[in-house]
Amino acid sequence: MSETPSLAHTLATTSQASPHRACFLLRVRPEKLAEYADVHQRVWDEMRQALRDAGWRHYSLFLDPDTGLVVGYYEADDARAAAAAMEDLEVNTRWQAEMAQYFQPDGGGTAHFLSQYFYLA
C-alpha cells in the first residue's frame, strides 16, 4: 500500500489547478450582511470597468447568510496578475475603504485565496 502524500505536496503538484481561476473567502459582520449585499447591487461603474480592464471575468460573490462567509470566484488569463493589477488602483482603494465597515475586524476583509485541487471540465 502506498503512503498518501502530504496535503502540501498534493496542492503544490496537482495538475488540476489552473492559473485562470481564483477563489477567495471574506467574512462579513452579521449585523451588516443585508447592507453589504445591497451595496453590491450598485457596484460603481468605474469599479466594474477597472475589474474588466485588469482581466477579471465571470466574477461572482456568494454569501452564506448564517455565517457571513463570502466566497468570491473569478477567471482571468492570469488570475494572480489580475488580482495584482487591482491592488494599487485608486478606484479599488476607494472601494475597499468603503467596504471595510462591513468586514469582521479580525482580517475578514482580507481575501484568503484557496488552493484548487480538483476541476471537472
Measured CA distances, 100 to 15, 78, 108, 109 (Å): 36, 26, 9, 7
Alpha helices in 1-121 (DSSP H): 7-13, 33-39, 45-53, 79-87, 90-99
Burial status of residue 25 (CB atoms within 10 A of its CB: 0-12, 13-18, 19 or more):
middle
Distance CA 87, CA 110 (A): 12
DSSP state of 2: P
Annotated catalytic residue, options 20, 40, 58, 112: 40
112 belongs to the catalytic site:
no
Residues identified as active-site: 40
